[in-house]
Amino acid sequence: LAAMTGGAAQAGEGLEPNSWEDVTTYCNYYEFGTGKGDPSANAHSLTTSPWSVTIDGMVDRPGEYDFNEILSEMTIEERIYRFRCVEAWSMVVPWNGFELADLLNMAGVKDGAKYVAFETLYRPSEMPGTQYRVLDWPYREGLRLDEAMHPLTLMATGIFGKPLPNQNGAPLRLVVPWKYGFKSIKSIVRLTLTDKEPPASWNMANPGEYGFYSNVNPNVDHPRWSQASERPLGGGLFARRKPTLMFNGYEEEVAALYDGMDLTRFY
Amino acid sequence: MMVDGLNALLRKVPTWGIYLVGALPVPWLFYQGLTGGLGVDPIKALEHEYGELALQLLLIGLAISPLRRFTGISLIRFRRAFGLLAFLYVSCHLLVWLVLDVQLPDQIWADIVKRPYITIGMIGFVVLLPLAITSNNASVRKLGPRWRQLHRLTYLAVLLGALHFVMLVKGFQIEPLIYLGVAVALLCLRIKLPSRRILA
């Protein structure tokens, strides 16, 4: 953990992290219930050890990788990122993790692969929320390969220098800071390299409201609410709204990924 | 009989007691929000608590006459209190949304016209306004039979309220559907079926 404070610290410059309580008691993890407090109340039932991640599809070294084996190969660093939920609230989270690019390189991405598909664990015996079909389980997400390889894209294994609490997606989750939070899929058990745009849970549930890209964009509203501003959590009952930043404030780093794309169409 | 005993007991309950107990959660929840008792996002929590209580009170109000019809238990004396309390909570819910949640006046209007679930919630509030204003003995006397007709708008308001809840959640969620189901069921109990003639 010595290297935890290295790397892209510039991405977190000037950001004041929310409290441990904010980050760990206010979660969207529908496998444990749809209330914001449900995951912290219910996720203790999740067994995260042993844990393995299947990496398959268009890779040179497909297989089932033990989580500890992955960790031993990776360099953990701290990244303080803005976190913007599609529901128009936001936090600042100090993550610990490694770049997704490093994991993908470990498995060796084959030529022709264009996307990465992700899958969350689906284990009804430990996930009380899955008895309702709130979504089509297991939870699935996807990134374009260039998004996945971007140096800001993180595989988080911890917060505040501690291992990820279950409700935050233990033991391994994605963090894509310029996209709405639901893209940052939790408790990952599978990554599949593919040449087709993979299915994404919220997009499947309601394609008119949730697109594949889901980039934070104050100019493209969610059909049911405006995305122009957000409520930063942690400020109590009288917290002021603040304007939402294009790509959640990471425009300089990621805007080039979407050059020439109509972001109102590819939302 | 047990029902008579219960009704006799209920007659001893003063209506001001219902108002008092029913209104207490307003300051209590606000205090909880101020002091961290409503969690990390007290604005949303308070908005939700007030809204859900409003819906529950509307449903209680709607359940009173079927309850009397099927069990003989009469809460009719308290129906106005439940209705006015429901209006109180709807108003608090709306105020939290306006003042603490959205904050920006231009976005408030944009939301009301552009977002169907907000439009529907807003219509529900507007529908309740004349009902709250006429929930007093003077209006009952003055309006006569029209008072009863006017107050059937409660049926519309409760449907709008439940629909508002169903429309605002993400994914397929059970809780708002239960509210809508209960509302529809309570309204169905009021439908008077034409007596069928039995043909030989």
Residue of A214, A224, A227 to mutate when probing chain B, most B C-beta within 10 A: A224
| B104 interface with A at CB cutoff 8 Å | yes
Q: Out of B40, B167, B168, whose CB is closest to A25?
A: B40
The confidence score (pLDDT) of residue A9 equals 43
CA B96 to chain A, closest CA, distance in angstroms equals 10
Query: What pLDDT digit, counting tens, does each position of A111-159 carry?
Result: 999 999 999 999 999 999 999 899 999 999 999 999 999 999 999 999 9
Hey, what are A128's tokens? 């009380």
Residue B148 lies in a domain: yes
Q: What is the DSSP string of B29-98?
A: HHHHHHTTTT-S-HHHHHHHHHHHHHHHHHHHHHHHHHHHHHH----GGGHHHHHHHHHHHHHHHHHIII
Other Cβ atoms less than 10 A from the Cβ of A85: the count is: 18
- In CATH, the number for domain A2-258 is 3.90.420.10
Cα gap A148→A95, rounded to integer Å: 17
Hey, what are A134's tokens? 């709130």
| A22 interface with B at CB cutoff 8 Å | yes
CA A224 to chain B, closest CA, distance in angstroms equals 5
Residue B139 lies in a domain: yes
The helix-helix angle for B116-133 and B105-114 (nearest 10°) equals: 100
Hey, what are A168's tokens? 């935050």
CA A181 to chain centre: 6
* Interior/surface letters B134-158, b for 16+ CB within 10 angstroms, e for the rest: bbeeebeeeeeeeeeeebeebbebb
* Interior/surface letters A199-211, b for 16+ CB within 10 angstroms, e for the rest: ebbbbebeeeebb
Q: Out of B34, B44, B115, whose CB is closest to A225?
A: B115
- For residue B39, the number of C-alpha atoms closer than 13 Å in the C-beta half-sphere is 18
Complex ipTM > 0.85: no
What number of helices (H) and strands (E) belong to chain B? Answer: 11, 0
Cα gap A46→B160, rounded to integer Å: 39
The confidence score (pLDDT) of residue B153 equals 97
The confidence score (pLDDT) of residue B195 equals 65
CB contacts of A34 in chain B (<8 Å) are 169-171, 173
Which residues in chain A show pLDDT less than 70? 1-13
Nearest 5°: phi and psi at A202?
A: -70, -35
Contacts of A65-70 spanning 24+ positions with Cβ under 8 A: A65/A107, A67/A171, A67/A172, A70/A103, A70/A106, A70/A172
Number of domains chain B contains: 1
Q: Which residues contact A121 (CB under 8 A, 6 or more apart)?
A: A31, A46, A127, A138, A187, A188, A189
Residue B194 lies in a domain: no
Other Cβ atoms less than 10 A from the Cβ of A38: the count is: 19
Tokens 């893209």: give the residue: A183
| Chain A residue with Cα closest to B116 | A224
Report in angstroms the alpha-carbon separations of B172 from A200, B30, B160, B166. 16, 30, 19, 9
- Per-residue pLDDT band for B5 (boundaries 50, 70, 90) equals very high
- Per-residue pLDDT band for B191 (boundaries 50, 70, 90) equals confident
CB contact under 8 A, B40 and A36: yes
pLDDT above 80: residue B200? no
* Full domain range(s) for residue B52: 2-188
Nearest 5°: phi and psi at B34?
A: -70, -35
In degrees, to the nearest 5, what angle opens at C-alpha A21 toward C-alphas A19 and A23?
75
Q: Out of B100, B116, B174, whose CB is closest to A237?
A: B100
CA A166 to chain B, closest CA, distance in angstroms equals 18
Least confident of A24-33, B30-39, B99-108, B128-137: B99-108
Hey, what are B47's tokens? 């908005």
Q: What is the DSSP string of A28-55?
A: --GGG-SSTTHHHHHGGG---SS-EEEE
| CB contacts < 8 A (A, B) | 69
Return the DSSP state at A12: G
CB contact under 8 A, B43 and A226: no
Domain locations along chain A = 2-258
The confidence score (pLDDT) of residue A6 equals 42
Residue B73 lies in a domain: yes
- Per-residue pLDDT band for B192 (boundaries 50, 70, 90) equals confident
Hey, what are A5's tokens? 């404070």
The confidence score (pLDDT) of residue A13 equals 67
Cα gap B191→B79, rounded to integer Å: 20
